[in-house]
Structure 1
Amino acid sequence: MMKDSAPGRDETPQERADRLWNEMLQEVRVCQTGAQILFGFLIGVAFTPRFAVLPDFDKSLYVATVVLGAIATGALIAPVAFHRFLAGHGRKPELIQIAGRLIATGLTTLALTIAAALLLLLRTATGSPAAAWMLSATVLLWFTSTWLVLPQVVLRREAAGRMATSERDDADGDRSP
């Protein structure tokens, strides 16, 4: 049987798809739980006595936060529902691609939900809109740095290292008798 697998692995395409799917499920379980808990807390805010006296901006921010939370929760749960419909149809590689996009959407909206919820909380808790915006923006920048930028830096370093190794190997080959 011909093996077509990831570098450093001896697996068939189906084995690779199974492994990637299991890895995705493990990763998304953490995010799903956090998104669901956050969404549950957000829903309860509208039923508190203080909600009625919030300024219009904060009420609008709350609505946007709840909608973002619903989108994040839905996007992070969607791969499981998608899998249920495609299970047994030999479509796992396609499922992995789509689930990856859904998880990326879920993580993005989860980061926005957390930043918006933090903004709402800090506007109320500190009484300083400027401080609330600054702190919330800092947290969103942190998410962007650790969730998006850092992985890209690692990938670029790895690619640069492979390129340097390849160039060294090519240069060594030119010197061979």
Structure 2
Amino acid sequence: MAENNSSSTGGGPSRNETRFERADRNFAEILQELRVTQAGVQILFAFLLTLAFTERFPSLDTMQRATYVTTLLLAVLAAALFTAPAAVHRSLFGQRAKPLIVRVSSRLAGIGLGVLVFAVSGAVLLVVDVAVGRTGGIIAAAGTMVVCAGLWGLLPLLVRGAADKTEGRGDDGKESATSDGVRPAGPR
């Protein structure tokens, strides 16, 4: 018999779904997120692949070539990390391992985003270095890292903190009890 679990992940309202139903939903959400990131990685990777075949490529200096190769390899690693959840799912399909697949896939996606920050920053470094100069490239790459770290790392933490502060409040903004009659712990 299926285990019934009325708690939700993330502290939202109860969904009254089994552990496996929740895992199915969470995996579908992860796949949707990966579709977005994977498209960006594929575009970046394709851009990087074409650079080696341009007329200007032989004139790149040693630092620019090192940046190119490093960035290309980071894009490959990001693509591998973002496609790995499909491979994990395929290898464990039908073995009632969906909760484990969700945990592993979430971890792979998180690592993939970390690698993608470096790949995108490396691409910005290379392009701005060639177009404007080394100092401009370094500044643009550092700015790219800060923006990505802020939007992909800090912003989710801030949103989670805000959600934690409002958890247990009804639509009217007043504190309310959860479905089990217990108010959530923590700051109010």
Cα distance between partner residues in 2 of 1:60 and 1:156: 40
TM-score scaled by length of structure 1: 0.87
AA aligned to 1:38 is L
Structure 1 residue aligned with 2:156: 151
- 1:107-126 Cα offsets, whole Å, 9 max, x none, are 11112111100110000011
CA distance in 2, matches of 1:73, 1:30: 12
Q: Secondary structure at the match of 2:53?
A: coil
Amino acid at match of 1:3: N
Q: Secondary structure at the match of 1:68?
A: helix
Q: Summarize deviations over 1:69-123 as a string: whole Å, max 9, x none.
A: 0000000011011110011001000000100011111111112111100110000
Number of matched residues?
167
Unaligned runs of 5+ in 2: 170-174, 177-182
Matched AA of 2:45: F
Gaps in structure 1 of 5+ consecutive residues: 171-177
Higher mean Cα deviation, 130-139 or 143-152? Answer: 130-139
Give the structure with the larger helix fraction.
1
SS at match of 1:49: coil
Question: Could you tell me how far apart the structure 2 residues matched to 1:145 and 1:83 are?
Answer: 31
Give the alignment of 1:100-115 within 5 angstroms.
100-115=106-121
Instruction: Please tell me the residue identity of whatever aligns with 1:102.
Output: L
Q: Of 34, 38, 42, which aligns to 2:40? A: 34
1:18 alignment partner in structure 2:
24
Choose which of 112, 134, 137 in structure 2 pairs with 1:132: 137
Q: Distance in 2 between matches of 1:118 and 1:32?
A: 18
Q: Deviations over 1:37-92 (max 9, x none)?
A: 21112112112221111100100010100010000000001101111001100100
Q: Which residue of 1 aligns with 2:52?
A: 46
The share of aligned pairs that are identical, in percent, is 35
Matched AA of 1:76? F
Alignment of 1:40-79 (within 5 A): 40-79=46-85
Residue identity matched to 1:22: A
CA shift, 1:163, in A, is 8.7
Structure 2 residue matching 1:93: 3-state secondary structure: helix
Runs of 4+ in 1 over 2 A off after TM superposition: 157-166
- Which residue in the other structure is 1:142 paired with? 147
Q: TM-score, normalised by structure 2?
A: 0.82
1:173 alignment counterpart: none
* Secondary structure in structure 1 of the residue aligned to 2:17: coil
Determine the C-alpha separation between the residues in 1 that align with 2:121 and 2:54.
Answer: 21
State the distance in 1 between where 2:117 and 2:105 align.
18
Compute the displacement of 1:162 (Å): 4.2
Contact 2:3/2:19 (8 A) holds in 1: no
